[in-house]
Structure 1
Amino acid sequence: MLRKKLYFCAHATTAAMALLTGMNAAAQTAETSGQAGIQEILVTATKRTTTLQSTPVAVSVLNGADLDLNHVQTIQDVTRLVPSFQATAQGDHGVITMTLRGIGNDSAKTEYADPEVALYVDGIYTARPEGASSLLFDMQSVEVLRGPQGTLWGRNATVGAVNMQTAKPTLDDVYGNLEAGVGGYGRVGTRGAINVPLTDKLAVRLSFAREKHDGYVDYQAPPTIPLAQQQAALAAYNRANGTNLAFQPLDANRYVQSGDKYNAQDQSAVRLSALWKPTDRLTWNVNFEYFQDRGTPNMNLLQTPRPGTSEWSALINIAPFLHRDVYSLRSRFDYDINDYLSVTYIAGYSWFKGRANFDQDGGATLPTSFASGGNEQEDRTNLAKYYSYSHEVELKSNGKHDLDWILGAYYGHEDNSIRFDINILNGSTQGPVNWGGEFLQPKETVTSKAVFGQATYHLTDKLHLTGGLRYTKDERGNEGGVGIGFCGAGCGGPVAVNQDARSLGWTVFSNNTGSGSWNKMTYLARVSYDFTPDVMGYASVSTGYKSGGVQDGGFLYNPETLTNYEAGLKLRLLGGRLTVNNAFFYEDLKNFQFSAPVTNPDGTHVLRTNNADGATVYGFESEIAARPTVDDLLGLSLSFQHTKLDHLIAGSNDYSLPPCAVPGISTCLDVTGHKLPHAPSFAAQLIYEHSFHLFNGATVIPRVSFHYETASWLSVFNLGDGDKQNSYTRTDLSVRYESNKPWSVELFVQNVEDDRIKTNAQNSFGAFQSVYLPPRTFGANFRYRF
């Protein structure tokens, strides 16, 4: 029965706010004593189960109830709840990229680039950024570890790691839950789970989720330009370009007016989990998950809408399309060899297949004729296939001894392929091709091997020393990759989905075959001290590493490294009714990998990765949770950070930049000394809820979640207001009715202010455009547990 009560108890969010997770459970016993306390939260940040307050790591924890109450569906929804955490929605690949403590890579959205923030599900690394877009459902917890986690977590945990744990089967009872919801923009959502013990040694859990809503972006009416003006504009174009294009009137039928809209959600997922526990010493958890995405990409919208048009509308001539399937198999085998020693084997397999069509220009510039004025760009992922698997073995001491230790070995492999096309036309989709490119990458491989160890020596009951090392070797290769392009008018039209551009007479401009190998030793040194049973402090030095890679042209780029200096203080006060967790950090990033699409002097387009000298980031994070009474919950998180980029000459086709003096890039800008993107100097999240007890034993719980952050840049270019998200507030409101029966009803409104909150920017098509977080949304959820 306790499990059923806990499922819908009130929780707040962020690590500090997640400390509120146990409050309602504690309140059930506190009601008789007149006291209320915060129940300890268990985490696995050190690959051991420890309490949050005793773990000397800056870690935020959200359990399954936290995720439900904050309507979390993807990692992007988590970011507002965790200090120094940001995410960017990318339209052309339909992915989410993450930034932590000001460090990230917005272009880590392809088969090439890797993120700085590593994503793990049940201890298994998610290799490609599409994983961050998957639905979060039936989760046990989400832990966000801030700072390098290279020793224990390994690959690409340069600045942090997100450790997601799915809900596991149990052997004790049959139980489950079911939820159904409706809301604005035609939102319909259902999810549920059931746990069934088959024997006293075997149990299964089946869970599912389905979320769907209509697109937020309306279609603008086709432009109406008098024929005489179109003819005059075409004549001027012919004179300027030395062409003799025959006149065609603009075809209104080429503009999308109906069908699925951009920024729509249509995602489904199902997971079957099994637990086998034949003895007290052996536990085997395994699950198979299928995720399907049939939604649409997020559109680049004009920051300043054209007169007479809605902020949430665009002039579109490429219908949205997104079709993705992900299959994942995860296994964890734990065996206690004896009371002192245990072994763990973690294995995972993932297979991704996807296609997408995207209107990159978003109708930023109106055409003046069928061949002039406008600048139309279609980005099309004709096919992407990502296959990966990994194995990890851990041997560690059990319990607590003078010396606690863990040793491990890791092997991971990826085999990826993609065909990505770009068609850029003058004027409209009727116009001549300005440039076309077809990027064929039939085989890109990544192999990562590592051995690691970490030990904590307890000098006294209060003083603890921890040291860790990890040696990693990464190998990357591109076999047979080519870039095929055409530059000039009259080339015969865009490339068709199943057509090889070479059949149009286009030429190979980039041979991408190449390989590279890199290795690195990362380390952790930490001291922690228990001043009292309720006050713990720590100081650490740790390093992170992200391997180099192979880019277009077969060129290599160098690894990047991060050294993090951190001091923290965790306090549990007022008899457990108040917790305060603080962290000060200073990060020194070297060889920062800056990736962006650029144009070569010959007009061809490539994705280029350059190593900046580095960057410096320092700041302070605080997470506070309080339960002043049995019926009141309060959570507050604060983050302060300062960032500065070292020497970098950066280019990007997403921005209008001046001509570049650096060989090999057409346009660029010296961004030395600029601030890093997605790094507001101050951010705060406040959550408060109060329980009103009714005469019939039911409870009404209003809840407010308030977020504020100062202005932040959207790129390293720092190009003024268009390249900036101004300071903003976001308020989410909800009220829950929890009956004395096993059901509850919730009404909610998100983004009450209806602010347009940018996650990126571009002005390569003229006026500034951005992808935005969702507008104001509202809805209702009904939950039943059994």
Structure 2
Amino acid sequence: MSSHASGFRKFLGSPVQLAVVTLLAGASSVYAQSQAPEAAAKAADSKELPTVIVTATKSATSLQRTPVAVTAINATSLEDNRVNSLLDVFNLVPSLQGTGQGDHGIVSVTLRGIGNDSAKTEYADPEVSLFVDGVFSPRPEGASTLMFDLDGVEVMRGPQGTLWGRNSTVGTINLKTAKPKLNDQSGYVEAGIGTYSRMGMRGALNMPVSDTLAFRVAFVHEQHDGYVDFQKGPNLSVASQQAAYIANGGTLATFKPMNTNLFVQDGPKYNAQDQSAVRVSMLWKPTAAFSWDLSVEQFRDRGTPSMNLMQTPRAGESQWSALIEVAPTLVRDSTNVRSHMEYDLGDMILAYTAGMGRFKGSSTFDAQGGMVVPTYFDDPNARYQNNNTVWSKYNSQSHEVTLASSGRKTLDWILGAYYAAEDNGIRFDIPIMNGTQEGSVAWQGSFIQPKETVETKAVFGQATFNVSDALHLTGGVRFTTDRRENVGGGSWTWQYDATVPQTPLNANFDPKTQPGYAQGDHNSAVYTNDKTTYLARVGYDLSKDAMVYGSVSTGYKSGGTGDGGHPYGPETLTNYEAGLKTKLMGGRMTFNTSVYYMDFKDFQFSSAITNPDGTRGFAYDNAEGAKVSGAEVEVATLVGNNGRLQLAASFTKTKLGHLVGKTNDYILPVCFSDKTTNCMDVTGHELPHAPKFALQLQYEHNFDLESGATLTPRASAHYQTDTWLSVFNLGDGDKQKAYATLDLGLRYAAKKNWYVDGFVRNVTDQLIKTSAGSGGQNRTVDTAIWTAQYQAPRTVQVNAGYSF
């Protein structure tokens, strides 16, 4: 029986089961199409594009009248594009890119050429802030990883720190979950299958309790087998192994044959998915003036990490295969509580938004992936390396109080205060053995950070002076103080003591008390800083259907301390932006465009490094700065009576300021200033994940059938020019070449509330790199073995659903 059959049984016994049972129990209720807003139906009758409402300015405004570069994706578009995770959003938004981080199973985000691939543990923060229902999510878990039952997604480009706060350096993503509705009993359920043994199920049930109270239960489960096949272990004669061992200084007395059982041949494969989530939401509205939205969400992940694959496979081996010596595991569990209270005081609205999150996890990851096949058990040219997150945890909380004017007045304003805190911890082991697990120690160490706290306080305000019906002047300011503290952390590394058995470091013992290890870095340190950021913007309505705007805004990301307690400074930028938004053809077309220039100071660069004394750690550097400029275009238009075309395009130019970079992910030249380590002067290089040009085209067409049903084919094409995968710009191995992809979908919606759809992603089965490395010890720049992580291969899925 497959591993995912077992996984599906676990799903049925999980908290999601409660949601399924509750949902099916209400299936006799009256019909309501929860995923189709009334605005869409009205637009279909009027032959105009629907009005899109966004909350980018912390108030509900029309997208076309909001002077911010924002992309709004509604629930219908999310469903049409089969958006199951954050990775599926990236092709829908100009200048937005994403990468999967294998050893932690995390997605990192890049916007307008700026991101942080290291924002996957407690060490690093992202430049693009992620919010769920207005609550900051320090780590991409739960609803952000497995997107389900959403009203929509808003992606705001450019610094959003004045209103949105923490880490909104270059943009903000806000996921809006579907809220309970009063006096409306409705819901939906969907199930599907697909390639790689894919099985999925999702649904929601809206349950009114009284005229003032309603609940909503939503659930999702998605799973598929891994994409990466296991290569067979080396089949070498004992004689050839002996000869290689003796030739490299070994003796017959210490020789032992390779144990081929150490190479994984079955079980869960890398790049597998097995995720479940359930959310229970409440809406209480005892009076016309007061409302309270409350939700509790549980997320469970038992998939596997994404694998580093050889860019040039060995002869006879598939691209999607690897020689595996570390079985993949991934355990992530998180609980999130989100609350929003709002009281209408008449001319003002008082709101309180709060959130609490708890996370724990662990993982194992084969960092070498058999790049070199060992010729004997202790071959120094081949390595066993297990990147093992023994445990990881974080607790977070946030609180925001705002007081804002209501309605349109001469002066529209908002004032607020914000507090957030985190308590993080991790133990991360890296055992590296020569040849195989039974070889001698090449290097190994444990990084243990039992407590790292983050505390942020801020006050902010923003006001818009409506000088006339056409002219609008906006100013905003935010004052932030940050405090970060590492308590009792450090690294414990192998001391090459010949009297201690050379076995791989593992979770069953504590290196702090184990013979053969000594403490290297001491991480206890405190960092504090404060910063004032601002926004100045002018908007002018050219007509009732067109507006222009221009703004100057600043962004900020806190500094901190890295391994060894070494401090690094904050990152700041100034963003200059101008935009145009207009409706054309009587409302049948919208055309939105923006141009921008970002000037960074002390741009943060982080990576895992090897120090001159042989110890390893995670280090931060502040580059002199960076310059980023670009333009973005979004167009939506109705085609005839039943067609809709959407276009999104971006143009991006990046240039890094002075920085000498170090990393363990690439083989670099010997430093010109320090002959004991490796580095590269990357001054003037282009930033990673920033194609100069990217284009997304989507088209769908509704065919009305005589039975009253509809048939809707959809096509989505993406093209982008080549892009670097790191700041080192190291040639073809460190680059994703220009590519184009195509997704196709077909949906049959019956007259009576049920539908069937099929979807093919990456139709042409393109091999698309999202990250790269040239790892491996005892090799040179000229003989580096290049690896990469890739977007998923071609996948096919079929789903059937019913709304009631």
TM-score of the superposition, structure 1-length normalised? 0.95
Cα separation, 2, equivalents of 1:586 and 1:237: 57
Cα deviation code 1:145-193 (max 9, x no counterpart): 0000010001100000001111000103100011101000000000000
Q: Is the 8 A contact 1:747 1:779 kept in 2?
A: yes
Residue identity opposite 2:435 in structure 1: G
Instruction: Quote the offset at 1:643 in angstroms.
Output: 0.5
Cα separation, 2, equivalents of 1:3 and 1:639: 41
Are 1:347 and 2:354 an aligned pair? yes
In the alignment, what sits opposite 2:214? 203
Identity across aligned pairs (percent)? 53
Q: Is the 8 A contact 1:434 1:489 kept in 2?
A: no
Match of 2:426 among 418, 422, 437: 418
Tell me the SS of whatever aligns to 1:504.
coil
Cα separation, 2, equivalents of 1:743 and 1:375: 54
Instruction: Quote the offset at 1:8 in angstroms.
Output: 5.3
Match of 1:53 among 64, 88, 109: 64
Cα deviation code 1:66-107 (max 9, x no counterpart): 112111122111111100001110111111111000001111
Tell me the SS of whatever aligns to 2:766.
coil
Match of 1:715 among 722, 726, 734: 726
Cα deviation code 1:712-758 (max 9, x no counterpart): 00000001000000111110001100111101100111100101111
In the alignment, what sits opposite 1:497? 507
In the comparison of the two structures, how many residue pairs are matched?
765
Match of 1:232 among 222, 240, 243: 243
In the alignment, what sits opposite 1:388? 396
Cα separation, 2, equivalents of 1:591 and 1:499: 40
Residue identity opposite 2:131 in structure 1: Y
Cα separation, 1, equivalents of 2:430 and 2:51: 52
Of 568-577 and 221-230, deviating more is 221-230
In the alignment, what sits opposite 1:304? 312
Q: Is the 8 A contact 2:100 2:106 kept in 1?
A: yes
In the alignment, what sits opposite 1:626? 637
Match of 1:358 among 362, 365, 372: 365
Cα separation, 1, equivalents of 2:252 and 2:336: 55
Of 129-138 and 309-318, deviating more is 129-138
Tell me the SS of whatever aligns to 2:360.
strand
Tell me the SS of whatever aligns to 1:476.
strand
Tell me the SS of whatever aligns to 1:529.
strand
Residue identity opposite 1:194 in structure 2: L
Q: Is the 8 A contact 2:142 2:277 kept in 1?
A: no
Tell me: CA distance 1:382–1:646, structure 2 relative to 1, closer, same or farther (3 Å).
same
Tell me: CA distance 1:154–1:231, structure 2 relative to 1, closer, same or farther (3 Å).
same
Q: Is the 8 A contact 1:599 1:665 kept in 2?
A: no
Are 1:472 and 2:485 an aligned pair? no
Are 1:450 and 2:458 an aligned pair? yes
Match of 2:656 among 631, 641, 645: 645
Cα separation, 1, equivalents of 2:87 and 2:253: 47
In the alignment, what sits opposite 1:783? 801
Residue identity opposite 1:385 in structure 2: K
Tell me the SS of whatever aligns to 2:639.
coil
Cα separation, 2, equivalents of 1:180 and 1:779: 10
Residue identity opposite 1:437 in structure 2: G
Instruction: Quote the offset at 1:4 in angstroms.
Output: 3.7
Cα separation, 1, equivalents of 2:85 and 2:672: 41
Tell me the SS of whatever aligns to 1:498.
coil
Tell me: CA distance 1:109–1:662, structure 2 relative to 1, closer, same or farther (3 Å).
farther
In the alignment, what sits opposite 1:13? none
Q: Is the 8 A contact 1:746 1:780 kept in 2?
A: yes
Of 194-203 and 218-227, deviating more is 218-227
Residue identity opposite 2:276 in structure 1: S
Q: Is the 8 A contact 2:490 2:522 kept in 1?
A: yes
Cα separation, 2, equivalents of 1:504 and 1:722: 41
Tell me: CA distance 1:421–1:630, structure 2 relative to 1, closer, same or farther (3 Å).
same
Tell me the SS of whatever aligns to 1:430.
coil
Are 1:550 and 2:558 an aligned pair? no
Are 1:531 and 2:538 an aligned pair? no
Match of 1:590 among 573, 595, 601: 601
Tell me the SS of whatever aligns to 1:598.
strand
Instruction: Quote the offset at 1:496 in angstroms.
Output: 2.1
Tell me the SS of whatever aligns to 1:221.
coil
Match of 1:160 among 168, 171, 176: 171
Instruction: Quote the offset at 1:778 in angstroms.
Output: 0.2
Q: Is the 8 A contact 1:112 1:549 kept in 2?
A: no
Cα separation, 1, equivalents of 2:210 and 2:142: 34
In the alignment, what sits opposite 1:289? 297
Instruction: Quote the offset at 1:7 in angstroms.
Output: 2.4
Q: Is the 8 A contact 1:351 1:387 kept in 2?
A: yes
Residue identity opposite 2:792 in structure 1: P
Cα separation, 2, equivalents of 1:406 and 1:87: 33
Match of 1:26 among 39, 43, 57: 43
Are 1:577 and 2:605 an aligned pair? no
In the alignment, what sits opposite 1:377? 385
Instruction: Quote the offset at 1:119 in angstroms.
Output: 0.3
Tell me: CA distance 1:731–1:2, structure 2 relative to 1, closer, same or farther (3 Å).
farther
Instruction: Quote the offset at 1:228 in angstroms.
Output: 2.5
Cα deviation code 1:443-475 (max 9, x no counterpart): 100000000000000111100000000000000
Tell me: CA distance 1:702–1:613, structure 2 relative to 1, closer, same or farther (3 Å).
same
Match of 2:614 among 598, 603, 606: 603
Equivalent residues in 2 for 1:182-221 (5 A)?
Answer: 182-221=193-232
Instruction: Quote the offset at 1:662 in angstroms.
Output: 4.5
Match of 2:151 among 123, 128, 140: 140
Tell me the SS of whatever aligns to 1:621.
strand
Instruction: Find runs of 4+ consecutive structure 1 residues off by over 3 angstroms.
Output: 1-6, 21-25, 129-133, 487-491, 661-665
Tell me the SS of whatever aligns to 1:234.
helix
Cα separation, 1, equivalents of 2:639 and 2:487: 62
TM-score of the superposition, structure 2-length normalised? 0.93
Tell me the SS of whatever aligns to 1:672.
coil
Tell me the SS of whatever aligns to 2:387.
strand
Cα separation, 1, equivalents of 2:532 and 2:72: 29
Equivalent residues in 2 for 1:322-333 (5 A)?
Answer: 322-333=330-341
Residue identity opposite 2:503 in structure 1: G
Are 1:367 and 2:374 an aligned pair? yes
Instruction: Quote the offset at 1:376 in angstroms.
Output: 1.8
Cα separation, 1, equivalents of 2:42 and 2:754: 18
Instruction: Quote the offset at 1:232 in angstroms.
Output: 2.2
In the alignment, what sits opposite 1:14? none
Structure 2: where are the runs of 5+ without partners? 1-28, 777-783
Tell me the SS of whatever aligns to 1:168.
coil
In the alignment, what sits opposite 2:530? 519
Tell me the SS of whatever aligns to 2:358.
strand
Q: Is the 8 A contact 1:598 1:665 kept in 2?
A: no
- The RMSD of aligned alpha carbons is 1.6
Instruction: Quote the offset at 1:120 in angstroms.
Output: 0.4
Residue identity opposite 2:608 in structure 1: P
Match of 2:329 among 312, 318, 321: 321
Tell me the SS of whatever aligns to 1:368.
coil
Tell me: CA distance 1:244–1:449, structure 2 relative to 1, closer, same or farther (3 Å).
farther
Of 367-376 and 171-180, deviating more is 367-376
Tell me the SS of whatever aligns to 2:217.
strand
Tell me: CA distance 1:565–1:131, structure 2 relative to 1, closer, same or farther (3 Å).
farther
In the alignment, what sits opposite 1:336? 344
Tell me: CA distance 1:504–1:285, structure 2 relative to 1, closer, same or farther (3 Å).
same
Cα separation, 2, equivalents of 1:41 and 1:717: 41
Cα separation, 2, equivalents of 1:433 and 1:206: 52
Match of 1:430 among 420, 438, 454: 438
Cα deviation code 1:387-415 (max 9, x no counterpart): 00011000010001100000000000000
Structure 1: where are the runs of 5+ without partners? 10-20, 31-35
Residue identity opposite 1:775 in structure 2: P
Are 1:767 and 2:785 an aligned pair? yes
Cα separation, 1, equivalents of 2:199 and 2:651: 38
In the alignment, what sits opposite 1:111? 122
Tell me the SS of whatever aligns to 1:45.
coil
